[in-house]
Structures are given as C-alpha cells and as structure tokens.
Structure 1
Amino acid sequence: MDRGPVEGSSRAAGRVEESAAWHLTERCLAATPEDGARGMFFQGVVGVVGFVQGEAAAAKCLAASGLKELNPAELYPVTRFLAMSAEATRLLKPQLGDWAQSLRYIGTQATVDFLASMFGRDLMQAAGRNPRKMLHHIVENYRVAVSYGERGVLWTGDHSARFVMRRDFMPAPYHEGVLQAALEAVGAQDIQVHGRQLSLLDTEYDVSW
C-alpha cells in the first residue's frame, strides 16, 4: 500500500507541533530592541551544530541569525538568538531526537561557554564547590549575560530549590540544560531539573541534587 500521503501528513503535523511548542513568532513579537544576549551564546549554538552536523550546518545556523560574525562580549538582539536557536533545533533533531532535547543540549553548551568566559570565571570563584552558592550567584550573572528578564531562587530544602524566571525568551528545556550544566560544574551529584512553562515567557524549575 502506498503510504506516502500519510507519511507526508505525519511530517507536516510534526512541524506544526514543534512550531507550536516553540511559539517562536510570539516570543519574537514580545521582544523589544533593548532585549539582547551576548555573542558567546550565539557562538555556542554555532559550535554545537558544527560539532554534531558539520561546517555546512553551522553556516546555516549562523545565517539564520542574520549576522556574519560574532563578538562574544557584545549584546545582540534576542530575536536573532531565537531565530538561530530554532534553526539549530531543526538541524540537531535527527541526531538528538526532538526539539526539546536539542534545546537542552544547546543550553548545556551555553553554560559551558559562559563558565569559560571572564564573567563565568568570576562566578565559579564565587560559587566554589557549593551548589547552593552556584544557584544564588547565577541569578546575578544572568544580568551580565542578557539584558532582559528577572530570576530568583526559592529554597525548598538543603539540596533542592525552585528557580523562577520571569520574562525570559527561551523555552523551558533550554534552561534545564543551563541549570544542569551549572550544577555539574561545581560537582553536584544526582542532579534533577524539571521545568514548567507558566506562560509564554515565565518558567519555574524544580532543582535537586
């Protein structure tokens, strides 16, 4: 039996589902010209795609941002980062399984890159090997890394917390990767990070270790 139309409909449905999950257009419309993210995060996305899919895919990823070159310390419009990240999830999906896992992977690399920067080295020194200090100080460092949003930590136990983000443009899976990598960097074990999308730009994460 010819199943071509059915398979085609399935692929189209998958694209619609992914687009709905991302809400990319709505996120871009919610941004203002003052909302920016540093170039190091753009470089991290390009690097991830290049590592997994090769140089041609990395070039597509960069082209999606509308930028030709990147300065790691410069703030670029978050709408460009959203466009780049959406293209990256499309390119990474065949290897990583779905858009959410691709976003987690990108978020993990974003943290690795940030912690290797001059901003991140200060964070690591302040946090030492203490997961609680890391979560506390990462709130302040978000203000250095991006120009939008508010973050806070509510402690729910000696080894657990609720990390709250308001007016942040990336979907929850991205920051699951961010928080996982940040805690791993200070030696935390048995890390669990579960995000909930409260609204388009508001999320909270239950974190434990």
Structure 2
Amino acid sequence: MRRRTMPSNKAELEARLAAVHPGDSVRGLFFKSVLSLVQQQAGLAALETVRQGALGAAYTDLLTYPARDFLTLLYRAADALEPLLGPEDAVFHACGEKDVTRFSTGPGMLIFGIISRGDPQKLFAGAQMGYGAAVSYGSRDYVPTGPTSGTLHMRRDMLPPAYHEGILTGALKVLGLQGTARATPRGIDSADYDIQWA
C-alpha cells in the first residue's frame, strides 16, 4: 500500500548544496546504486523522473561526478521513494545501505576484505581510507568507545546524516553483524556517529 507522499526538504537541500566546494565529487557507482534502488522499488517511470535534466548521464563506476549532482539525486530519490519506504530519512538510510553493499564488492573490497578482516573496529578505523575511495572531500576520525562501539567524527561532509547512518549499519551487515548508528549533527556538513554492534 502506498503512503501519502511528501516532497523532500528542498530548503535543506539548498543549504547542503551551499556547503559543497568546487571540485567535490562522488564516484559513479553510488549514482548507479541509488538509481537502481529507485527502479527496483518504484519502477521505470519513477526512474526516468529522477534522472531528468543533468542527472540523465550514463554513470561509470570508477569515474567521479559532481557532489552537487549526487545530493540532488538523493533528494529526487526521496521524492520518488517516500510513498514506498517512508519519510526522506528512511529513503536516505536505504540509499546509504545499498551504496555500501555495492561498494564492498567493488572499490571497497580492500578495506572490507583485507584491512578489516571482519573486525568492525578495524573497518571503522579505516573510514577515512574507505570514504577517500568514494568521495573527494571531508574528513573522518574514528574513536573506539568500547569493545563493540565507537564514534565516527565526520567533518565537511554535506550528505544527510541518515544516509551515513545507512552506510554504517550497512557496513556492519556486510560483516555479518547487526548494529546501530546514531547521528548527532554538528552543523550542515558535520556530525558525530555513535556506532554499536553485537
């Protein structure tokens, strides 16, 4: 059953776009993964609506594209998927989880398969390396807070916190674990993520 749709928060999108620096970019595989989620959940008509305009490019996994376009894509995906998945934060979370699952079988194989060796502490300690293989901007610093917990400090990353929560909980699922990631926003482009798993 379809829920009543609400447009995603375009004022927040504009604030996030204003935080983007020239040259900030995102790898094409993340665009493709979000578009795939839209098609799987909402069908081809919704996909074509989301792809309109500048987002109509044929993306290549390892090439990079403007972060502004990726932000716009996330909010368009929220407009298309809210009737099916719930509020925009639920859509952003789903996009993040799908993206990290796809990343772990491509450019992220090094950090997921070799560096982390199934250990979440090692995986999150390598967050800067992992994100550095995905985007051209921002800094990430991880501090363990217990045997099965830690806090990831993200700075100068303008993507919605719910998207990163999806990435972090999705990363735990890739390792075969269940867990949570809760964001404490520190500004439009900064947040701290408390991560726990079992």
Instruction: Give the TM-score normalised by structure 2.
Output: 0.91
The residue type paired with residue 163 of structure 1 is L
Q: Which residue of 2 aligns with 1:144?
A: 133
1:78 aligns with 2:67: yes
Deviation for aligned residue 1:64: 5.2
Q: Which residue of 1 aligns with 2:161?
A: 172
Deviations 1:116-144 (A, max 9, x none): 11x21111222111111111123211111
Mapped contact 2:108–2:133 kept (Cα < 8 A): no
Q: Which residue of 1 aligns with 2:193?
A: 205
1:24 aligns with 2:16: no
Instruction: Give the TM-score normalised by structure 1.
Output: 0.87
Task: Name the structure with the higher helix share.
Answer: 1
Distance 1:49 1:66 in 2: 13
Distance 1:65 1:205 in 2: 32
Distance 2:22 2:181 in 1: 31
Deviation for aligned residue 1:106: 0.4
Distance 1:60 1:112 in 2: 25
Mapped contact 1:36–1:75 kept (Cα < 8 A): yes
1:128 aligns with 2:117: yes
Q: Which residue of 2 aligns with 1:100?
A: 89
Q: Which residue of 2 aligns with 1:4?
A: none
Deviation for aligned residue 1:83: 0.8
RMSD: 1.7
Mapped contact 1:65–1:81 kept (Cα < 8 A): no
Uncovered stretches (5+) of structure 1, i.e. residues with no partner? 1-10
1:109 aligns with 2:98: yes
The residue type paired with residue 184 of structure 2 is R
Change (3 A) 1:103 1:39: same
Deviation for aligned residue 1:62: 2.2
Give the counterpart of 2:144 among 149, 152, 155: 155
The residue type paired with residue 198 of structure 1 is R
Distance 1:104 1:64 in 2: 25
Uncovered stretches (5+) of structure 2, i.e. residues with no partner? none
